[in-house]
Amino acid sequence: MNDRRSDRPTLEEVAARAGVGRGTVSRVINGSPRVSEQARTAVERAVAELGYVPNQAARALAGRRTDAVALVIPETEARLFAEPYFMGLMRGASAELADAERQLLLTLVRTEQERQRFEQYLAAHRVDGVLLASVHRDDPLPDRVAALGLPLVMNGRRAESEPVDFVDSDNVGAGRSAVAHLAGRGRRRIATVTGPLDMYVARCRLDGYRAGLAEVGLVPDASLVATGDFTEEGGRRAMRELLERAPELDAVFAASDVMAAGARSVLRAAGRRVPEDVAFVGVDDSAVARHMDPPLTSVRQPIEEMGRTMTRLLLRKIAGAADGTPSSEAEAHRVLPTELIVRASS
């Protein structure tokens, strides 16, 4: 009976075929210069003859690259697949990693137990770095990733003074340009549906809305502000609340296209016409905006470019961690511009 294993060859089998020790094989595979040319040639020949494939996890534990990057989104599957923003971010990150011949590992972290399990995964050095999206104010994950010594770049930030590297868009500018546009259309009772206010992005868009009102001489009115959660149902709830409190409103700035779609359905049910009775502006310039009836005016974020930019920054951080070169502050804190795209909803 042949007791030779039928699965993939081991490091020990490569060492036996090459006539060297296990440590020598490991040094050759990991690119160490501390190997003679004769030993290197023997190991490389044995690897080719046996069809040996290095175990990525073992290389990671040895301090080598895994060639994998984790994109972490602390949201549910329903939110992930219903929100075009995340799809755009993933497309940008995936394209940049493909160019660099690295793998993207998508991870959803929804509970404290999942967060702890993911931290254990990171502690085992299964990835070279982490991209983190949809960050809430009290989320401990950025600091825990940093404490593990792993390169990290966030999409967005938790507060104005953010110590972790991030790539963001001009969210204050988004709110200001939306309000300026609506006021320019003659609207005077401009409401807003915010995102969850434990997220810095939502607070910035609300700040931009308020700054925009001041710039056109309109007095802020708390009855014209309703809190959503970046979901379609959140937009519906907020719009019903606004209509009850301020039925005379004549414009709405929704802090995302998805919330705008939910709010639009409530207005339709209430017999309000868009834009004749109520003008609408969203944020993201997603497929949702283009396919609404009427098409939605929206503040475009460069979503795919944010995914690419944060991935490029992370790859530079990974390379810098290997050679000891830190990122500059200008490189580590990037804010990309937004642009108002006018359509028939306003």
pLDDT digits (tens, 9 = 90+) for 235-283: 999 999 999 999 999 999 999 999 999 999 999 999 999 999 999 999 9
Q: Please, what is the average pLDDT of the chain?
A: 89
Q: What is the pTM of this model?
A: 0.79
Q: Which two tokens stand for residue 292?
A: 């609404």
For residue 111, what are its two tokens? 């509970």
The region, left, alpha or beta by phi > 0 then psi within -120 to 50, assigned to residue 303 is alpha
Residue 64's pLDDT band (cuts 50, 70, 90): low
Distance CA 17, CA 22 (A): 11
Question: Does the pLDDT at position 11 exceed 90?
Answer: no
Strands, E assignment, the chain: 68-73, 103-108, 129-132, 152-155, 166-169, 190-194, 225-227, 251-254, 279-284, 297-300, 333-336, 339-341
At 61, the pLDDT band (50, 70, 90 cuts) reads very low
Domain extents in the chain: 11-54, 68-168+304-334, 171-300
Predicted local distance difference test score (pLDDT) of residue 77: 85
Give pLDDT, residue 332. 84
Angle at CA of residue 90, ends 89 and 92, nearest 5°: 65
CATH class entry, domain 11-54: mainly alpha
Task: Flag whether pLDDT at 56 surpasses 60.
Answer: no
What is the spatial distance between Cα 46 and Cα 19, in angstroms, rounded to a whole number? Answer: 9
Sequence-separated (6 or more) residues with CB below 8 Å from residue 276: none
Lowest mean pLDDT across 106-115, 164-173, 253-262: 106-115
Query: Check: CATH 3.30.930.10 for 171-300?
Result: no
**How confident is the model at residue 7, as a pLDDT?**
64
Secondary structure (3-state) at 229: coil
Taking 70 as the threshold, does the pLDDT of residue 31 lie above it?
Answer: no
Predicted pLDDT of residue 189: 98
Q: Which amino acid is at 326?
A: P
Q: What is the mean pLDDT of residues 92-115?
A: 91
Q: Do domains 68-168+304-334 and 171-300 have the same CATH topology?
A: yes
pLDDT of residue 54: 62
Q: What is the mean pLDDT of residues 57-78?
A: 74
Dig out the tokens for 1 from the structure: 């009976």
Fold of 68-168+304-334: Rossmann fold (3.40.50)
Peptide bond into 220 cis (omega under 30): no
CA angle 293, 281, 267 (to 5 degrees): 55
pLDDT higher than 50, residue 6:
no
Distant-in-sequence, close-in-space partners of 41: CB < 8 Å, separation ≥ 6:
none
In whole angstroms, give the CA distance from residue 262 to residue 287.
15
Over pLDDT 70: what percentage of the chain?
90
Token pair of 182 as six digits: 């609506």
pLDDT score recorded for residue 4: 42
Report the pLDDT averaged over residues 107-129: 89
Lowest mean pLDDT among 62-71, 120-129, 217-226, 268-277: 62-71
pLDDT at 33 over 80: no
Q: Which range has the top average pLDDT, 13-22, 98-107, 334-343?
A: 334-343
Residue 326 has a pLDDT of: 53
